[in-house]
C-alpha cells in the first residue's frame, strides 16, 4: 500500500493540486491529510472542498490547530500574521466546511501508523516536534511503530532504538528511507502549503507499508501564483513573501 501523506496545506490550492498529482503519478493508493487545511493561504474554500471529496472517497484526515482556530472561538497562542489569516478565513467557511472540520479526529491509527498533526503525547496541545527531545516525548507516549505528524513545516525523521538511543535525521527529497522493524520511527512532514526549510517547493511524504519505507518528495508548484492570490486577498504581505523564500 502506498499512502501519500500531506500536512500543512494552509489554503494553498496550487501546492495541494501539485502534490496530489505528483502522488497520483507515483501510484498513491490512499491519501492522508494531517491537519491545517486552512490558515495563511488564499484558497481555504477550494482546499476544503477538495479535502471533503477526498475524505468521502476514503482519505484519512486529522485536525490541525489552524483548522480548530478557524471554527473555534479564537486564535489563542498564535502570532499576529496567523491570527489575521484566521480572522480572514473564518467568515469564508460555509456551515458544511465547519461541520467537516469539527468532525475531524485528533489522531487516526491505521496501516500500522499513528497519524497526528503535532506531538502525539498530547495532540490537543499542538506542541511542535522540532527536536530530538520533543520526538522522544511523542514516541514514548504511544506504542506506534511509526508516527507521522506535521505542524513543524520542516521535514525530519527520528528513530528510537531498543537501547533508547534517539537518532535524528534530515531526509533528502526523493531518497527512500526504510523504516525497519526493531526500532520506532517518527516522521515529521514538510509543509505542502508553506515550507519553512528554505526550499519553496511543496513537500509531502509517500509511505509504503510493506516493507515500510518513507520518501519525502519535493514538488515544484506555481509559488508566484499562490503568492499573488495572497496579496490580492488582502492577507498580510509577509505570508506571500515567505512562500517565495520557503521560510
Partner 1 sequence: MLHEGGMAVLMSVTRPGDDLPMLMKVPRLREGEDPAAIVSFEMEQMIMPRLSGPHVPRFIALGGFEAEPFIVMERIQGAPLSVRLRDLPLPAEEVAHIGAAVADALDALHHQHVVHLDVKPANILFREDGTAVLVDYGLAHHEQLPDLMAEEFRLPYGTTPYMAPEQALGIRNDPRSDIFSLGALMYQLATADLPFGEPQHLKGVKRRLWRDPVPPRRRRSNIPPWLQEAILRCLEVDPDARYPTAAQLAFDLRHPEEVSLTHRAGKMRRDGFLTVMRRRLRQRDPQHRAFATARQVQAAPILAVALDFGEMSEELAEALRNQMQKMLGSRPGARLACLNVLKSNLLSIDTTLDDQGRNRHVQRLVELRHWARPLGLPEARVTFHVLEGADAADAILGYARANRVDHLVLGARASSLQRRLLGSVSGKVAAEAPCSVTVVRRRGPE
What is the Cα–Cα distance from 55 to 34, expressed in whole angstroms? 12
Please report how close the Cβ of residue 130 comes to partner 1 at its closest, in angstroms. 17
Please report how close the Cβ of residue 170 comes to partner 1 at its closest, in angstroms. 9
Max distance between CA atoms of the chain, in angstroms, equals 54
The H or E element containing residue 230 is helix 223-232
The dihedrals phi and psi of 109, each to the nearest 5 degrees, come to -115, 115
User: Are 121 and 143 spatial neighbours (Cβ–Cβ below 8 Å)?
Assistant: no
**Of 105 and 176, which has the nearer Cβ to partner 1?**
176
Please report how close the Cβ of residue 121 comes to partner 1 at its closest, in angstroms. 22
**Of 99 and 169, which has the nearer Cβ to partner 1?**
169
Please report how close the Cβ of residue 158 comes to partner 1 at its closest, in angstroms. 8
**Of 149 and 157, which has the nearer Cβ to partner 1?**
157
The dihedrals phi and psi of 202, each to the nearest 5 degrees, come to -65, 150
Of 22, 41, 42, whose CA–CA distance to 193 is shortest? 41
Residues that bind partner 1 (CB under 8 A): 157, 159, 161-163, 165, 167-169, 171-172, 175, 177-178, 180-183, 211
**Of 177 and 233, which has the nearer Cβ to partner 1?**
177
Cβ contacts of 53 within 8 Å, gap of 6 or more: none
Please report how close the Cβ of residue 238 comes to partner 1 at its closest, in angstroms. 29
**Of 57 and 175, which has the nearer Cβ to partner 1?**
175
| Region for residue 88 given its phi and psi (left: phi exceeds 0; alpha: psi -120 to 50; beta: otherwise) | alpha
**Of 203 and 226, which has the nearer Cβ to partner 1?**
203
Please report how close the Cβ of residue 118 comes to partner 1 at its closest, in angstroms. 22
User: Are 9 and 35 spatial neighbours (Cβ–Cβ below 8 Å)?
Assistant: no
User: Are 40 and 64 spatial neighbours (Cβ–Cβ below 8 Å)?
Assistant: no
Amino acid at each position: 500500500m502506498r499512502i501519500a501523506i500531506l500536512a500543512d496545506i494552509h489554503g494553498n490550492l496550487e501546492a495541494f493540486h501539485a502534490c496530489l498529482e505528483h502522488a497520483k503519478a507515483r501510484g498513491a493508493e490512499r491519501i492522508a491529510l494531517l491537519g491545517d487545511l486552512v490558515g495563511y493561504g488564499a484558497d481555504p474554500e477550494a482546499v476544503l472542498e477538495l479535502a471533503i471529496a477526498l475524505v468521502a472517497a476514503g482519505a484519512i484526515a486529522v485536525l490541525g490547530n489552524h483548522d480548530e482556530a478557524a471554527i473555534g472561538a479564537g486564535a489563542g497562542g498564535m502570532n499576529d500574521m496567523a491570527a489575521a489569516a484566521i480572522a480572514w478565513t473564518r467568515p469564508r467557511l460555509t456551515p458544511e466546511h465547519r461541520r467537516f472540520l469539527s468532525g475531524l479526529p485528533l489522531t487516526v491509527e491505521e496501516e500500522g501508523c499513528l497519524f497526528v498533526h503535532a506531538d502525539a503525547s498530547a495532540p490537543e496541545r499542538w506542541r511542535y516536534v522540532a527536536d530530538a527531545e520533543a520526538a522522544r516525548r511523542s514516541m514514548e507516549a504511544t506504542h506506534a511503530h511509526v508516527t507521522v505528524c506535521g505542524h513543524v513545516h520542516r521535514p525530519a525523521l527520528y528513530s528510537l532504538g531498543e537501547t533508547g538511543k534517539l537518532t535524528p535525521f534530515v531526509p533528502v527529497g526523493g531518497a527512500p528511507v526504510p523504516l525497519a522493524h526493531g526500532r520506532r520511527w517518527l516522521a515529521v512532514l514538510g509543509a505542502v502549503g508553506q515550507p519553512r526549510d528554505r526550499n519553496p517547493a511543496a513537500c509531502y511524504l509517500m509511505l509504503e507499508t510493506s516493507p515500510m519505507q518513507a520518501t519525502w518528495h519535493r514538488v515544484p508548484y506555481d509559488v508566484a501564483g499562490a503568492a499573488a492570490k495572497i496579496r490580492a486577498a488582502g492577507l498580510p504581505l509577509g505570508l506571500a513573501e515567505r512562500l517565495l523564500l520557503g521560510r
